Amino acid sequence: AVVSTQSTGEEYKDNFKVVSVIVGEVNLEQGRQYAKVFEPLLADPGTVFVVSSDFCHWGSRFRYCRTEGPPDLPIWRGIETLDKLGMDTIETLDPAAFQEYLAATRNTICGRRPILLLLCAVERYRRERSGEVKFQFLDYSQSSRCTRKSDSSVSYASGVLSIQEHNRNGTE
């Protein structure tokens, strides 16, 4: 007999609700206002946020051909450097720094607005509560390794935000 330990998730389907949030154009100050709504949810251990985003859409068909690094760096490496700079900025959990990164690079991160809102909620959480908050990227890939200006690519990154809340006497 073959026994599988993997779950399809079917047994959990009635134990949670999915609330979709569609985010339009939002600046840093507006993000900080929305953080008032999202921070209490972020603090609730029964809530899970899923923020989905591609990263750089590179190539003439996307009207974005910026890279970072020395001129002799392969294009795909320059895209990776650009994206990793953004990922490092997100890991600082500083919404203003992320906004500055976007303004400086114009990187075509589709989920930049939901990411900004999440960072604003984290900023508010850190101001109002105690606990350790950490964001770590787990994986990064590109749809193709661009070597010519006529190539195109979309980058993908996955990460996780974790919160280890401390109770009032400072213990976990």
The pLDDT tens digits for 61-99 are 999 999 999 989 999 999 999 999 999 999 999 999 999
122 has a pLDDT exceeding 60? yes
Q: What is the CA radius of gyration of the chain?
A: 19
What pLDDT score was predicted for residue 20? Answer: 79
Looking at the predicted structure, is the pLDDT value of residue 172 above 60? no
Interatomic CA distance for residues 127 and 135, integer angstroms? 17
CA distance 96 to 94: 6
Residue 126 has pLDDT above 90, yes or no: yes
Placement of tokens 């919160």 in the chain: 163
Q: Would the pLDDT of 17 be above 90?
A: no
- Give backbone dihedrals phi and psi of 37, rounded to 5 degrees, phi first: -80, -40
| DSSP code for 72 | T
Question: Global pTM?
Answer: 0.84
Which residue type is seen at 115? Answer: I
**What does the pLDDT read at residue 9?**
61
* Average pLDDT estimate for 115-128: 94
Q: Determine the residue type at 102.
A: L
7 or 32: whose pLDDT is higher?
32
The pLDDT value recorded for residue 4 is 46
Provide the mean pLDDT of the chain: 88
Structure-block tokens of residue 64: 């974005």
Query: Is the per-residue pLDDT at 1 higher than 50?
Result: no
With a CB cutoff of 8 Å and minimum separation 6, the contacts of 41 are 47, 49, 121
